[in-house]
Structure 1
Amino acid sequence: MKKSFAILSLSALLTAGTAYGTPSDTFAAESMKGNLTVSFSMKEEAKTIQATGVITSIRADGDHALIHIQGVGTDGLVLNVDKDTVFQMADGTKLSLADLHVGLTVLAEHSIVMTMSLPPQTPTSKVTVLDAKIQKDLMGTAGVIEELHSENKDDLRIRVKGEGLTETSPSEIVLNLTKDTAIVDLNGKKVATSKLVKGANVIGFYGPALTKSLPPIGTAWKIVVADKEE
């Protein structure tokens, strides 16, 4: 028995209110080149793989949501979740979709079936938060380090200019890093502070307590080094 799904766009899914499929339903996603029909077997659809990454955006509509990990824009992977998706902490503590936010590092169990869109989308059965705790109200800015100041290894300040990842996030921000700031790659794996250099592409996550200066100044909760290894 075969199924088919139409390749639609991410914006179409959100604006048209299209239902997001699960591994047992028809899965809709978007292609910039028009409609495309892809067939796959029920057996193929049931197979799952895992992916880790930091959440850069969540677009929710009720129990359905598109969770972007491993990058911004056309980079990364979009997890298609719904009421049947399991959300949990690493210790098994149950979570809900509402508990997730940008900046969290997650392990996703998703179908091997993906759309041909950029970024690809995939039905997701389980999302596990790998961080020790949830940090509500985080904001995010993705861009390039334009300035870096350091007096010692425990005192680092970077200025990032690019685009805000939430409605209230500034496009340019100065972030103070502390010993508690996590520095990771796109997959959520810890990397050395030495990766933070002028010109590096990063995604900074920080709390809502910002100065009223231009650009605003905040404390970094997590910095994602978005430059891919050559």
Structure 2
Amino acid sequence: MTHKKKLIVLLTTAGLLGTSAVVGAAGMVEKVTGILHKDVKVVVNGESTSLTPVYINGQAYIPVRSAAAELGYTLNYDAKNKEIELNGKGQEEADYMRGTGVIVNVAEDKGQYRIELLGKGSNAWVILFADAKTVIKDQAGKTVAAKDLKAGQQINVEYGPVMTMSFPGQSHAAKITVEADRAVKEDVIQSVKHTDDGWQIQFGETKDGKAVPTLTLNAGKETSVLTPQGESVKWEDLKAGTKVRAYYGPFETKSLPPQSPLFYLVVLSDIQTPAGKMTPEAAQQYRDLAWEKVSDQAKHIKTKKDEAVVEIVSAKESGVMASSDEQKKRLAEIKAANGNLVTVTYNTDQDELIGPLTAVFDFETKAFIGYNIRK
């Protein structure tokens, strides 16, 4: 939103120790005399300027056009109405949130493009919508079509100023800059170790009973390790056998195995505690999502909202019933990939007849899948 300010301004004549000017205000004209103080500095955002104030009756005045430029405003003079209008050209930029990360998924949605972004910024996991108003360019300034955005691209983005209260938050993408196309690999870690420069993980295969590395990824300070929901993961918690999705390169060395820099590592499994439950923070997020789905059954629910049991279960072993075609398709994809679901279970006054009420979500995206079949 652009804010406009209409001001009555004194026009000064630089270079005079004493100066006269005419001030117009509310239908009156008055000749005034002021003192030009060259010994007074005008500082804007910590930076000195060449502006010199004129003091009239103890108040400081500065040239409006020069002041507007220093403050980031554009100036327009309406001669007919004798008004000087300042437009805050920087206000729109100030209202936007900024982030950087990799595109996890892009899908066309009713004439716009739905972008799932995972990375850094005030919102590590966010859904953005790009439309005809979104400015999309590459690093060289060349325009990029929204349909050409794809998973694995690392982007900088400005979005907002409005954002939904959902999880993840959703907003309109105002500006997208495509920084690089990263290679993407989803596999289990063969080995992980600490190095002088950071961390190193290897992917590989087994030949003749021996582990053979096929790719080495080197991580430094710029590398982010996250869950699919944008929560930070410690390197020390990673181990061989952990399923991950790596965004790296795209270049690789010609060594054996090839090596490449790692930028984002998304941990897809092995974030459970020994008890088989999620961390308290993650569990609460699922409880909040589940309550939105079951609140219409609140009169039957005995479990308190924040005490529902949250568990990670194998999709193949779950008893979930998906209702929509989209949910059925996603459930089939999760089962085919041997993926996991998250269940949130409430006890009700109908448990003896039909069993507890359980809402089920996609472990990777937190999308609602359906409810477990009750008796």
TM-score normalised by structure 1 residue count: 0.47
- Greater relative CO, 1 or 2 (CA 8 Å, sep 6+): 1
Question: Rg: which structure is higher?
Answer: 2
